[in-house]
Amino acid sequence: MEAVATVLRDAFLEFKSLYTEAAYAETTPDPDTLGRRLDEGPIWVARLRAKIVGTVSAVEKPNGIYVRSTAVLPSARGSRIARMLLEEVESFAVSCRAERLFLSTTPFLHAAINLYEDFGFRRTSEPPHDLFNTPLFTMEKKLQALMTESDLMHLPDDLPIPTDDGGCDHLVGLGLPSVPLVATMGGSVDLSTIPGCVVIFAYPRTGRPNESPLVPDWDLIPGARGCTPQTCGFRDLHSEFQALHCRVGGLSTQSPEFQQEMVARLHVPFPVLSDEKLELSRALRLPTFTVAGQILLKRLVMVLENGRVKKVFYPVFPPDRSALIVLEWLKAL
């Protein structure tokens, strides 16, 4: 713990005169005190060229994960080390299913406050307090809950129902442009060249277990939630589509790598196509929406016949019945 104690001492030395003597001693604990702190929670260190240049620690509390002793040597600042340390603490907090990170800081640590704000911390409404007469205030960062595999399959009862905004009114009868798209089964697929019946279900984005939703209010966006249940619906009925001599494929603007992980995890037997560059989406003027800077497809299903749009299902709700609804339509032909 000697190296960690040295980092704390050297990092806060320039601010020593702004602390009371007792507060400075508490902020820069000796190795023995740091060793005892390990019983309260983990301590992380950052190394640069084999030298320990940064540290942070965390304490699991009933109301969240308390972040303390964030420090980087002056000579190592400007290398994103402090941010990377905070990312480690956040990953730890998420694994503990904590709802927030929180910390106390002093008003005169301007660079640290800017760092915390850039990382998503905000000052709370809690009144100011002190550490041995050195003023402090509390900052927090609220965390998003992780999605489990079960969560991804479950559809809440109160999901908002998407409305028909006319975004697909122009599609029926259109011939698809020649746009090769990367497929999860390798190579590329040009939908305009495939003979016979093809069902393409487009969706915003699938999630991954042990990751947070794209945004906290993802479920409140009409038509956003349900991509995994929709995909699994087509997976489970795939043989029945095959019996009707109809191919099936998925389509999203996610990367091929993201899609390949999903296909392997869910055992999807058909190709999923990546329109990451939005080439097909723009050529067909497919309806999209933007969340967290990402352009995502609105949920829809196109039935193609020899490269031409024969039928469109839009909006799609509920997503877990999408495959069955399309299958029943095809059987009725």
Question: For residue 284, which phi and psi values (nearest 5 degrees)?
Answer: -95, -5
pLDDT in tens, 320-331: 999 999 999 999
146 pLDDT above the threshold of 70: no
Instruction: Note whether 34 and 120 are same-domain residues.
Output: yes
Q: Nearest Cα to 89, choosing from 123, 43, 157, 50? A: 43
CA distance 78 to 117: 16
Q: What is the CATH number of the domain that holds 17?
A: 3.40.630.30
- Name the residue with tokens 């929406």: 289
Q: Which of 142, 169, 191 is the last residue of a domain?
A: 142
Instruction: Note whether 184 and 323 are same-domain residues.
Output: yes
Instruction: Note whether 138 and 153 are same-domain residues.
Output: no
Instruction: Note whether 32 and 134 are same-domain residues.
Output: yes
Task: Report the relative pairing of strands 294-297 and 100-105 from DSSP bridges.
Answer: unpaired
Instruction: Note whether 135 and 195 are same-domain residues.
Output: no
Number of domains in the chain: 2
Q: Which residue has the higher pLDDT, 208 or 200?
A: 200
Instruction: Note whether 167 and 129 are same-domain residues.
Output: no
Instruction: Note whether 186 and 121 are same-domain residues.
Output: no
Count other Cβ atoms within 10 Å, centred on residue 168.
Answer: 22
Instruction: Note whether 126 and 184 are same-domain residues.
Output: no
CB 259 within 8 A of CB 184: yes
pLDDT mean across residues, the chain: 94
Q: Which of 89-93, 207-211, 260-264, 307-311 has the lowest mean pLDDT?
A: 207-211
Q: Which residue has the higher pLDDT, 78 or 232?
A: 232
pLDDT in tens, 175-184: 999 999 999 9
pLDDT value at position 147?
62
Instruction: Note whether 93 and 195 are same-domain residues.
Output: no
Q: Which residue range forms the structural domain that includes residue 32?
A: 2-142
pLDDT value at position 212?
77
Q: Which residue has the higher pLDDT, 144 or 206?
A: 206
Scanning the chain, the segments in alpha helix (DSSP H) are 2-12, 21-27, 31-37, 81-95, 110-118, 149-153, 227-236, 238-243, 256-266, 279-284, 322-331
Q: Sorting pLDDT into bands at 50, 70 and 90, what band is 287?
A: very high
CA distance 97 to 92: 9
Q: Which of 142, 175, 194 is the last residue of a domain?
A: 142
Instruction: Note whether 175 and 72 are same-domain residues.
Output: no
**Which residue type occupies 179?**
V
How does DSSP classify residue 163? Answer: -
pLDDT average, residue stretch 1-24: 96
277 pLDDT above the threshold of 70: yes
Q: What is the CATH number of the domain that holds 214?
A: 3.40.30.10
pLDDT in tens, 220-255: 999 999 999 999 999 999 999 999 999 999 999 999
Q: Sorting pLDDT into bands at 50, 70 and 90, what band is 213?
A: confident
Instruction: Note whether 124 and 252 are same-domain residues.
Output: no
Q: Nearest Cα to 327, choosing from 264, 253, 245? A: 245
pLDDT in tens, 37-74: 999 999 999 999 999 999 999 999 998 999 999 999 99
Instruction: Note whether 98 and 227 are same-domain residues.
Output: no
Q: Which of 142, 161, 196 is the last residue of a domain?
A: 142
Burial of residue 245 (CB within 10 Å: 0-12, 13-18, 19+) is exposed
Question: For residue 218, which phi and psi values (nearest 5 degrees)?
Answer: -55, -40
